[in-house]
Amino acid sequence: MNLKNLKLFSDRMTNLNLKTDYRHFLDLSYLLPRDVRYIIEKAKVLKVIAKEKKQSKGFIHPDMPLKDQALAMIFEKPSTRTRISFEMAMHQLGGKTVVLQDHDMQISRGESISDTARVLSGFVDAIMMRANNHDNLLEMAKKSQVPIINALTNFSHPCQVMADVLTFEEHLGPITGRKIAWSGDVTNVAVSWIHAAALFDCELAIGCHRDYSPPKQVIDWIKNNNGRVTITENPIEAVQGADCIITDTFISMGDKDVNKRLKDLSPYQINENLMKRAKPSAIFLHCLPAHRGEEVTEDIIDGPQSLVWHEAENRLHIQKAILLWCFGK
């Protein structure tokens, strides 16, 4: 992703003139360690409930904590996992969803994000948005009178990283103090991992080509928030002794320079040579969709250290916890 040209924003809601009486889930950088810990622990409990008695996926939580609540889901980009996990999460918590593709909305004919935010606030109790541009998400949050959830932008993907942390802790215990390695493009998922490293107090080692490294403003955020994040062009150094290795596609939605990216980023592919530098107990994570043979080899993503299917399922359990946090439940 080209993060260099993004207008970056201050790391606190108040500086965005956002109404603080709504619990927006815009970025992990706006949250406190106690917020993210609450969401992770809540998700663990919700997962146990979901697994009890081998409940079918269409079950409804006996307490129906989101009964009478409605979530609008706006998509400016495609989605498989995020859409279905939020839809099922709302269903299982007793709520309703309305799915809106941007090309079906008046936004596609020029209606402003701020007018859309005001109108939707009269119809639903929260809005989830997958936005092409992070500015659109923030504009929505500024004008809405209900909580806004970031379901991926060109800048960040906080819901995904919360599911990653849940997956890590289920398999390897507390994440605090552990070493996470990222190798590849510094994507929206990687930026949320940078925020997560500071909030969960873990080490994050990033191996990336210099043209794809985090922008200066994100580096400054790391320094201001005591993030233990290191960045190297040497992928072996990044993954050495790691508890977890993560990557993402080399071609994110909206990226155009395909051939250059594949060439520049190929040394950062997760393969047997890199995986064996991590701890023997190390796990492999990937947000999906994956491109076998590009950012990861088949033997790794389909191998014994890969937890990508657990990670994908955990999107459901974490979305429920994020929704409950947003609704103050």
Does 287 qualify as catalytic in the annotation?
yes
| CA–CA dist 320, 309 (Å, integer) | 18
Distances (CA, A) of 73 to 32, 87, 131, 134: 25, 9, 11, 16
Distances (CA, A) of 298 to 3, 238, 271, 326: 29, 21, 8, 38
Q: Residues 2, 79, 132, 133: which binds ligand CP (CB under 6 A)? A: 79
Does 208 qualify as catalytic in the annotation?
no
Beta bridge partners of 205: 181, 230
User: Closest Cα partner for 279 from 227, 205, 219, 199?
Assistant: 205
Q: Residue 160 CB, nearest distance to ligand NVA (Å)? A: 6
Regarding 132 and contact with ligand CP (CB under 6 A), the answer is: no
- DSSP labels for 62-76? TT-TTTT-EEEEEES
Regarding 316 and contact with ligand CP (CB under 6 A), the answer is: no
User: Closest Cα partner for 97 from 111, 107, 115, 83?
Assistant: 83
> Residues 1, 255: contact at Cβ < 8 Å?
yes
Q: Residue 87 CB, nearest distance to ligand CP (Å)? A: 11
What are the residues binding ligand NVA (CB under 6 A)?
152, 187-189, 248-249, 252-253, 287
| CA–CA dist 104, 124 (Å, integer) | 18
For ligand CP, what does the binding mask look like between residues 279 and 308, x meaning CB under 6 A? --------xx--------------------
188, HSE (Cβ side, Cα atoms, 13 Å): 26
Q: Considering beta carbons, is residue 88 or 287 the nearer one to ligand NVA?
A: 287
Q: Which of 159, 208, 244, 287 is catalytic?
A: 287
Neighbours of 127 (CB within 10 A): 28
Q: Which stretch binds ligand CP (CB under 6 A): 39-47, 48-56, 74-82, 110-118?
A: 74-82
Q: Which of 24, 130, 134, 178 is catalytic?
A: 130
Does 34 qualify as catalytic in the annotation?
no
Q: Which of 81, 261, 315, 317 is catalytic?
A: 315
Regarding 161 and contact with ligand CP (CB under 6 A), the answer is: no
Q: Residues 29, 69, 82, 314: which binds ligand CP (CB under 6 A)? A: 82
Q: Residue 20 CB, nearest distance to ligand CP (Å)? A: 27
- Contact positions with ligand CP (CB under 6 A) in 135-154: 152
H or E segment and range at residue 14: none
Q: Which of 24, 157, 261, 317 is catalytic?
A: 157
Does 261 qualify as catalytic in the annotation?
no
| CA–CA dist 120, 126 (Å, integer) | 9
Regarding 80 and contact with ligand CP (CB under 6 A), the answer is: yes
Phi/psi for 70 (5° steps) reads -125, 140
Q: Residue 240 CB, nearest distance to ligand CP (Å)? A: 27
Residue 186 touches which member of ligand NVA, ligand CP, none, C-beta under 5-8 Å by kind: none
Residues with active-site annotation: 130, 157, 160, 248, 287, 315
By CB under 6 A, name the binding residues for ligand CP: 79-82, 152, 160, 287-288
